[in-house]
Chain A
Amino acid sequence: EVQMLESGGGLVQPGGSLRLSCAASGFTFSSYAMTWVRQAPGKGLEWVSTISGSGDSTYYADSVKGRFTISRDNSENTLYLQMNSLRAEDTAVYFCAKGANWGWRGVDYWGQGNLVTVSS
Chain B
Amino acid sequence: DIVMTQSPDSLAVSLGERATINCKSSQSVLSSSNNKNYLVWYQQKPGQPPKVLIYWASTRESGVPDRFSGSGSGTDFTLTISSLQAEDVAVYYCQQYYTTPSAFGQGTKVEIK
Q: Which residues of A contact B (CB under 8 A)?
A: 44-47, 50, 59, 61-62, 95, 97, 100, 102-108, 110-113
Count: A-B pairs, CB below 8 Å: 62
Q: How far is the CA of A112 from the CA of B51 in the complex (A)?
A: 11
A-contacting residues, B16-52, CB 8 Å: 38, 40, 42, 44, 49-52
Q: In the bound complex, do residue B49 and residue A44 qualify as a contact, i.e. CB atoms below 8 Å apart?
A: no
Does B107 touch A at the CB level, under 8 Å?
A: yes
Is the pair A47, B103 in contact by a Cβ cutoff of 8 Å?
A: yes
Complex partner residue of B55 from A45, A100, A111, CB under 8 angstroms: A100
B68 at the interface (CB under 8 A from A): no
Interface of B: prevailing SS: loop
Q: Which residue of A lies closest to B55 (CB)?
A: A102
Chain A residue at minimal CB-CB distance from B96: A105
Interface string of B51-88 (1 = CB under 8 A from A): 11001100101000000000000000000000000000
In the bound complex, do residue B95 and residue A46 qualify as a contact, i.e. CB atoms below 8 Å apart?
no
Alpha-carbon distance between A54 and B42 when the two chains are bound, in angstroms: 27
A95 contacts which chain B residues (CB < 8 A)?
49-50
Expressed in whole angstroms, the minimum distance between the Cβ of B9 and any Cβ of chain A is 10
In the docked arrangement, what's the CA distance between A113 and B50, Å?
10
By a CB distance below 8 angstroms, the chain B residues around A50 are 100, 102
**Can you name 18 A-B pairs with beta carbons within 8 Å?**
A44-B104, A44-B105, A45-B42, A45-B50, A45-B107, A62-B101, A95-B50, A97-B49, A100-B52, A102-B55, A102-B56, A103-B97, A104-B97, A105-B99, A105-B100, A105-B102, A106-B55, A110-B49
Assuming the A-B contacts A45-B107, A111-B49, are A103 and B101 also in contact, with contact meaning beta carbons closer than 8 angstroms in the complex?
A: no
